[in-house]
């Protein structure tokens, strides 16, 4: 019990001393940052940077618009080429299927359909876990 009391007392003293010195350090750092920000030289550089950004925004905006236009044209061209290629392959595939169908019907052979993967005999109709009777539920 004495060990716990000593621990709690030490923790409390450390907290009070640490927070007081920590608070002093924080206030010192905060005051230094405010003084630096309010320095006329810093404010002059901030103003200079702000003016530069405002002057460059239209130029950057034009470059972005040009790049977006080029990207749109490229995507449109590639999409049209891709659509044409897919359409051509689809037409070739349809013609090939039609030709095969005509050849098989002209030879008098029926098209063979694939066998089903499972039959009714393969399917187990019994439930995996039987439902308990009402008698079993009362127990």
Domain boundary assignment for the chain: 7-38, 47-92
What is the average pLDDT score of the chain? 78
Q: What is the pLDDT of residue 126?
A: 63
Q: Rounded to the nearest 5°, which phi and psi values hold at 108?
A: 80, 5
Give kind and range of the element (H or E) at residue 56: helix 40-106
Torsion sign over Cα 132, 133, 138, 139 = negative
pTM recorded for the entire structure = 0.34
What is the CB neighbour count within 10 angstroms for residue 113? 6
How high is the pLDDT of residue 27?
82
Residue 88 pLDDT: 83
Residue 44 pLDDT grade (very low, low, confident, very high; cuts 50, 70, 90): very high
């Amino acid at each position: 019990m004495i060990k716990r009391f000593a621990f709690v007392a030490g923790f409390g003293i450390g907290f009070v001393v640490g927070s007081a010195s920590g608070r002093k350090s924080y206030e010192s750092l905060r005051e230094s940052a405010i003084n630096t920000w309010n320095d006329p030289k810093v404010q002059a550089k901030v103003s200079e940077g702000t003016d530069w950004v405002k002057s460059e925004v239209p130029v950057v905006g034009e470059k972005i618009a040009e790049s977006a236009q080029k990207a749109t044209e490229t995507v449109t061209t590639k999409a049209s080429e891709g659509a044409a290629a897919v359409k051509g392959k689809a037409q070739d595939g349809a013609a090939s299927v039609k030709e095969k169908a005509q050849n098989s019907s002209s030879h008098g052979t029926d098209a063979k359909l694939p066998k089903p993967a499972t039959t009714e005999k393969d399917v187990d109709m019994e439930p995996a876990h039987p439902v308990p009777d009402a008698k079993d539920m009362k127990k």
